[in-house]
């Protein structure tokens, strides 16, 4: 899943980016409101983590403009301790959630995951497809009760396919959600990771769950 992290305090920006990337998120960053505005309008993010106090354009002004112009991306705002006014105004302007500084990284990650589940209308953190179980909270995977070890990138790809199960995900869709602006991989890396996943998820199990739609993309088998 792809996240835009908007924060002008460089030490916090580095720490949050590292934490999100270690969880398997593709992370783009912006350090002022103008940069954030350009990126938010030109890239399909799953979640935007938005600090309120920013140079050039403040976070609440950005949020107001985005919602006015129809941008539906989930927004988690970061506010200073005790700033009730900012929290209330942010929610009224269309923020989906907020965190008050200082906060623990684990709470931020949990809130981002919850927003992603909301986007796909899934309240249960465990996605079940046939005998496959994906725990989006612990980021663990089992098939037929057997634990399957995945790298962060493999997990992110599987989770993305699971949220779109029964529907074709094109290579472009997968690329845009799994790779950030700093990634220099070539487009065929999607096919490579599909092959890695098949070796772990489908090999030795029946039925195969990862399907190819030639000329279209890939999909995870639905319930039918």
Report the distance separating Cα 126 and Cα 139, nearest Å. 9
Statement: residue 118 has pLDDT above 90: no
For residues 3 and 27, is the Cβ–Cβ distance under 8 A? yes
For residue 127, give every residue at least 6 positions away whose Cβ sits within 8 Å of its Cβ, in sequence order, or none.
133, 134, 136, 159, 162, 163, 165
Distance CA(43)–CA(132), nearest Å, equals 31
> What confidence tier does 68 reach under pLDDT thresholds 50, 70, 90?
very high
Whole-model pTM: value is 0.80
**Is pLDDT at 126 greater than 80 in this prediction?**
yes
Domain boundaries, the chain: 2-119, 126-220
**Which CATH number fits the domain 126-220, given the four candidates 3.40.50.720, 1.10.10.10, 3.20.10.10, 3.40.190.10?**
1.10.10.10
Q: What value does the mean pLDDT take over residues 108-121?
A: 87
* pLDDT for the residue numbered 83: 74
Q: How confident is the model at residue 92 (pLDDT cuts 50, 70, 90)?
A: very high
> How large a percentage of the chain has pLDDT more than 90?
66
The yes or no reply on domain 2-119 and CATH 3.40.50.2300 is yes
Structure tokens at 212: 């190819």
pLDDT higher than threshold 70 for residue 40: yes
**What pLDDT does residue 1 have?**
83
pLDDT value of position 222: 81
pLDDT band for position 124 (50/70/90)? confident
Residue 199, exposed/middle/buried by CB under 10 A (0-12, 13-18, 19+)? exposed
Q: What is the reported pLDDT for 107?
A: 95
């Amino acid at each position: 899943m792809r996240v835009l992290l908007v924060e002008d305090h460089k030490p916090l920006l580095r720490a949050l980016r590292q934490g999100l990337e270690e969880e398997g998120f593709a992370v783009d960053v912006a350090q002022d409101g103008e940069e954030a505005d350009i990126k938010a309008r030109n890239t399909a993010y799953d979640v935007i983590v938005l600090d309120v106090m920013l140079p050039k354009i403040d976070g609440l002004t950005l949020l107001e403009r985005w919602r006015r112009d129809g941008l539906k991306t989930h927004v988690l705002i970061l506010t200073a301790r005790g700033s009730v006014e900012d929290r209330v105004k942010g929610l009224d302007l269309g923020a989906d959630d907020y965190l008050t500084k200082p906060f623990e990284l684990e709470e931020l990650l949990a809130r981002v995951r919850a927003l992603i589940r909301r986007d796909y209308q899934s309240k249960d953190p465990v996605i079940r497809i046939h005998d496959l179980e994906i725990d989006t909270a612990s980021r663990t995977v089992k098939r037929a009760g057997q634990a399957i070890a995945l790298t962060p990138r493999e997990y992110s790809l599987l989770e993305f396919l699971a949220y779109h199960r029964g529907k074709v995900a094109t290579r472009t869709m997968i690329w845009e959600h799994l790779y950030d602006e700093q990634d220099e991989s070539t487009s065929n890396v999607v096919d490579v990771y599909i092959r890695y996943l098949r070796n772990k998820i489908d090999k030795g199990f029946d039925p195969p769950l990862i399907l190819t739609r030639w000329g279209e993309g890939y999909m995870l088998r639905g319930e039918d």
